[in-house]
Structure 1
Amino acid sequence: MKGQEVNSTPVPAFLILGFPELNGYKLPFFSIILVMYSITICENLLILLLVSTSQRLQSPMYFFLGHLALSDIVQISNIVPKMLDVIIREGSTIPYSGCMTQFYLYGVSVGAECYLLTAMSYDRYLAICKPLHYISIMSVKLRYGLIFSSWVLGFMMVLITLVLVCHLDFCGPYIINHFFCDLAPLLELSCSDTTAVSIDIIVHSFFIVLLPFVCIIITYVYIFITIFGISSTSGRQKTFSTCSSHLLVVSTYYGSILIIYMVPSRGHSLTVKKFISLMYIVLTPFLNPLIYSLRNNEIQSSVVVCLMVCRKRRLL
C-alpha cells in the first residue's frame, strides 16, 4: 500500500493499452495518425528550413517560430512512433527506461513550448505596443536569451519530477491505460507514497503552465488596448493580423491542456482525456505550421521561392 514499506523488484516493462475501444478500427485509425505524423514532420522541417535559410524570415518572430517547430518535432516524434506500434498491436510493451525517457522528453517539450509561446507573445507586445523601441529592446542577445531560457527551464524543471518518479516503487500490474507514459497513469501504478510527486506537480504546473499563461493573457490585454486605440478600421485589422496566428495557436494549445486538468479522471472520462491528449500531442503540431503559413504572406512567398530554386536545380 502507498505510504508503507514495500518489497518491490525492478520494473521489467510497462504494457501500454492505447485505445482498446478502437481496436476494431485500428487500420483506419493507424493510417490517419501515420499520415498526420508524416505531414507534421514535413511541415515543421520546412518551417525550420525556411527560417534558417530565407532572408525574408530573419525577424525575431520567425526565429521563435523555428524553435516552436523544433519543439513540436520533439514532442510528436517522442510519442507517435510508439503509439502507432501500440495501435497496430492492440497494446505494446515499453521498457522501464524507455517509459521514463518518453515521460521526460514529453515534459521537456511541453515546458519549452509554454515558454516559447510566452516569448512570442512578448515579441508581439513589443512590436505592437512599443514599435519605436522594438528593435532596440528585442535585440539578438535578448532573443537568444529567451530561447536559451525556454529550453533550459524545460529540461531542468522536468528533471526534478523525473528523479522523484524514478524513486517510486511499482509493484504491478504494470499496465498503463493510456497511449504513452504520462505522469497520471504512472502515479496510479505506484505502490509507494506519491506525496512528494503530487506537491512537485502543483509547483511545476504553476511555473510551467499557469504563470506563462497569465503572462500571455496580460500581454494580450495590452495588445488589444493598443489595437482598439487605433482610429482606422484597416489599421486595426492589419495590426491584429500580426498576432492572430499566435493567438490561435495559444488558444488551441492551452485550451487542450486546461481541459485535461478540468475533466475528472474517473469513469468514462478517461477515454475523453485520451482523445484530448491526442488533440494537443498530434493535432496541434499538425496545425501550427498551417496556421502560421496560411495567414502569413512572407512564409508563403518563401515557400514559393524555395520551390522555384529546387525546380531550377533539378532542371540543371
Structure 2
Amino acid sequence: MKMLRTPSVDRRFFQATADAMAGFGIDLDELCAAQRIANPLHLEGERLPLELVSQVYMAVERVAADPAFIYMQPEQVTHEGSSVLFALVSCCATPADMVRMICRYSSIASDAVSYELADDGDRLRMRVVPDSRVFVSFHQIEMAVWFMVQWLRQLKALTGISIDCSVQYAHAPRFDQARYAEIYKLPLKFEADRTMLTFGGPQLHKAVPGQDERMLAYYRAQAERYEQSTLSHGDFPRRVAILFMQRMAFGKPDAADIAAQLHISVRTLQRRLMDEGSSWSQVSDEARQMVACRELQQAARPLFEIALLTGFADPRAFMRAFRRWTGLTPSQYRKQVQDGSDEG
C-alpha cells in the first residue's frame, strides 16, 4: 500500500496557537529549550510535524500547571484572526452548510483529527477522530471541539440563530467536571464510546439572513487553492481518502460523490489520481482499510458492524478483504493491537 504522508499541521494554524500561548505569558522558544524539544516554528516548510506539535501542548500544560489552559483565555484561542472559518457565518446558506464547510477547511489545517459527518435530517452528528498513526494530545482533541463551540456562539451573536449542541468525549475529564460545565454551558459527557458533537434543533437548516453568494464562491475557491497547495506533491490521493472516510457515514461513497465534494468532474478526479500513481479503486480500498483498522481498536465493536461501516454487506467478504489488506484476520489484528496496548 502507498504510504500517506507524515501527519502534520499547517504552519499558519500553529502560528495562531503560538500567538495565543504568548497571550498566556508563555514564550515558545524558552518553553521548548527548557523541555528539550524542537520549536516547530523553527522548522522549514508550510507543514509542521503533528507529533512535535503535540509535545508542545503537553509541555505547555506542565508549565501552566493547569490542564484547562486552552480554556483560560478563550478570546486568545479562537484563531479568529487567522482562519476563514468564522467568516463562514456570513456566507453559507444554513448552519448545516457551515458545518460541512468548516469540516472541509479543518481537515486540511491539521491532521490531529479528522471529521466524519452523518446527517439524520433533523440533526447532524460530527465524529472527531484523532490520527491513530502518531501521538495526539487530549488538548488538541478538545481544542478541535472547543473551536466548534465557540463558532456556534459567534453564529448566535451575529445572526440570532441558535443551534442545539451536545458534546461527548471518549477520554476521561482532565479536570473537575463542574469546571467543564461552567466553560461549555451545554450537555457534556466523558468516557463515551467516541468523541462527537451533535447539532440539532429547529434552526439547524434555517436560512442565514443576508447570505452572500459571492463570498461563498470566494471561500470555495480559497478551499480549493488551500487544498492544492497543502496537499500537493503526491497528496491528492490522501485528500480523496479523507473525504471517502468522512462520507462513509452516509454509506459507501462513489467517485461522483467525492468529485462533487472537490468541485471537479469524475474524469478530472480519476486523471489526477492517475497522475500521482494511484486510482479510485486503490484510494477507496485504502480508506476502508484505515477505517476498519481504527474501528477494530475498539474491543466492543462487533465485526458485523465494522463490515457494514466499511461497505461490506457480507461479513465474510469483509474478512477476506481485511486479510488481503493486512495478512491478518480482523480477530488476529484486534488481538495484536490489544496485546501491544497491554505491553505499553
TM-score with structure 2 length normalisation?
0.25
Higher relative contact order (CA 8 A, sep 6+): 1
Q: Which structure shows the bigger proportion of residues in helix conformation?
A: 1
Higher strand share: 2
Structure 1 length-normalised TM = 0.27
